[in-house]
């Protein structure tokens, strides 16, 4: 590969990296707006989340095309190929996060102006949403720095989101048993909480992709302890 071609290739790789970070930033903003909807009766936030979703979808298509062109024209190998494949995976995960955020926003808008929104606040949903947002932010940071050790920490945090979801479910079961009239409100909370749990899963998948490209190992379906050991080189 000539020096000129090499520089072009580096520029193309940096362009897709920057594109992923921009897409990730937009998804973070979208999630923040959805959390606002859970806290307040903000009519503008719903429209903003919808607009964000359309932009996220466009960015996914553009980045996928860029990656396909790099693979076809440059035929990257080894680390470079792993990096491009990681980009494709992360872009897909971010688009799915956007889908979950849209669901949360729509559900929040549906119950807006009713006393059912107070139930969302009561059952620790907002704190769980903030945890999911932090986890997503950390995952994107590990990608920006290609930090496998930090990615292992993100993978660890998925258990916290899962535990929070189960705690909400246990509370809701007791809530519905005490008063069957609350079943509708409880199901709405389940819908939102499940989307938050899935956002945690997608953040974990992003972190796993980072570990794979940095260490060259597939850590899917591997325990957090094993991942830490692999990252540490034990």
Angstrom distance (rounded) from CA 127 to CA 125 = 6
Mean pLDDT (the chain, rounded): 88
**Can you give the residue range of the structural domain that contains 46?**
3-232
What residue has token string 């359309």? Answer: 54
| Residue 144, token pair as written in the block | 């920006």
Model confidence at 92: pLDDT above 80: yes
Angstrom distance (rounded) from CA 40 to CA 150 = 33
The H-assigned helical ranges of the chain are: 3-39, 43-74, 78-111, 116-122, 125-145, 148-178, 183-215, 224-232
| Residue 227, token pair as written in the block | 């991942």
pLDDT recorded at residue 15: 96
| Residue 49, token pair as written in the block | 């989340």
CATH number of the domain to which 136 belongs: 1.20.58.220
pLDDT recorded at residue 225: 76
Over residues 60-67, mean pLDDT? 97
What is the distance between the terminal CA atoms of the chain, rounded to a whole angstrom? 36
Residue pair 214/146 in contact (Cβ under 8 Å)? The answer is yes
Angstrom distance (rounded) from CA 206 to CA 91 = 9
Q: What percent of the chain has pLDDT over 90?
A: 58
Q: Is the model's pTM score more than 0.85?
A: yes
| Residue 12, token pair as written in the block | 């193309």
pLDDT recorded at residue 197: 97
The helix/strand/coil state of 42 is coil
Quick one: DSSP state of residue 73?
A: H
What contacts 209, CB < 8 A, 6 or more positions away?
86, 89, 90, 93, 143
pLDDT recorded at residue 117: 55
- pLDDT band of residue 218 (cuts 50, 70, 90) is confident
Model confidence at 123: pLDDT above 70: no
Model confidence at 164: pLDDT above 80: yes
Q: How many domains does the chain have?
A: 1
Which of the residue ranges 19-33, 47-61, 100-114, 165-179 would you say has the lowest mean pLDDT?
100-114
| Residue 101, token pair as written in the block | 């955020």
* Residues 126-141: tens digit of each pLDDT: 899 999 999 999 999 9
Angstrom distance (rounded) from CA 215 to CA 149 = 10
pLDDT recorded at residue 3: 63
Residue pair 219/212 in contact (Cβ under 8 Å)? The answer is yes
């Amino acid at each position: 590969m000539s020096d000129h071609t090499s520089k072009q290739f580096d520029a193309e790789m940096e362009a897709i990296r920057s594109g992923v970070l921009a897409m990730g930033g937009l998804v973070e903003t979208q999630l923040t707006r959805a959390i606002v909807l859970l806290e307040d009766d903000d009519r503008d936030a719903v429209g903003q989340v919808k607009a964000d979703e359309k932009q996220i979808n466009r960015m996914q298509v553009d980045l996928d095309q860029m990656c396909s062109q790099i693979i076809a024209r440059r035929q990257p190998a080894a680390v470079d190929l792993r990096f491009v494949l990681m980009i494709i995976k992360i872009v897909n995960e971010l688009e799915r996060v956007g889908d979950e955020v849209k669901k949360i926003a729509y559900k929040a808008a549906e119950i807006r102006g009713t006393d059912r929104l107070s139930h969302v606040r009561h059952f620790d949903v907002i704190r769980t949403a903030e945890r999911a947002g932090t986890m997503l932010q950390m995952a994107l940071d590990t990608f920006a720095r290609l930090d496998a050790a930090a990615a292992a920490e993100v993978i660890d945090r998925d258990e916290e989101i899962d535990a929070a979801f189960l705690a909400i479910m246990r509370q809701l079961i007791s809530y519905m048993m005490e008063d069957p009239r609350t079943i509708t409100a409880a199901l709405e909370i389940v819908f939102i909480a499940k989307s938050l749990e899935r956002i945690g899963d997608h953040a974990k998948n992003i972190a796993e992709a980072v570990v794979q490209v940095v260490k060259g190992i597939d850590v899917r379906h591997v325990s957090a302890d094993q991942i830490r050991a692999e990252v540490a080189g034990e």
